[in-house]
Amino acid sequence: MASHRADFGTLLATGVVSLGLGMVAASSVQAENEARRSSFRMHLEQDLEGSGLALLDLTIGRTQRNAPFWNVTLKDHAGRLRTVRVELPLGADPYGHDSRTLLLRNSSLAA
C-alpha cells in the first residue's frame, strides 16, 4: 500500500515530463486506490445498515499527533444527522479490519 502511495506522485511527475506515459501508470494506481476505498466504504455501509444507520460521508484525516481519524456523517432511523470523529491508534492502517471494527462500534454508539 505504501509503495502505491509513493508511486502515484512519482508516476504523476514522470507523466508531466514524458508525454503522459507516467500519467497512464498513475491512473492505474489511482484506480487501485479507489477500489480499496470503495470496498472499505461499502463494507462499512453494510455493517451500519444493520444498526439502522445510513452512511452519508466518510472523510479521513490526521490529528496533531499524526494519528489517523475518520469523520463519519450518519443519518439515524429518525432522520437525525450526526458527525462523529473516530480516532485510530497511531500507526494504524485506516483501511484495516481493526479500523472498521472501531469505526463501526463508535459510530453506532454515538449515533
Interface with other proteins (CB under 8 A): 2, 4-5, 8-10, 12-13, 15-17, 20-21, 23-28, 30-31, 33, 59-64, 66, 68-69, 71, 80-85, 94-95, 106, 109-111
Tell me the three cell numbers of residue 102. Answer: 472501531
Min CB(101)–other proteins separation in Å: 15
74 strand-pairing partners: 55, 82
Question: Per the structure block, which three cell numbers stand in for 100?
Answer: 472498521
C-beta of 84: minimal distance to other proteins in Å?
A: 6
Rounded distance between C-alpha atoms, residue 81 and residue 53, angstroms: 10
Phi then psi dihedrals of residue 77, to 5 deg: -65, -25
Which residue lies nearer to other proteins by CB, 37 or 45? 37
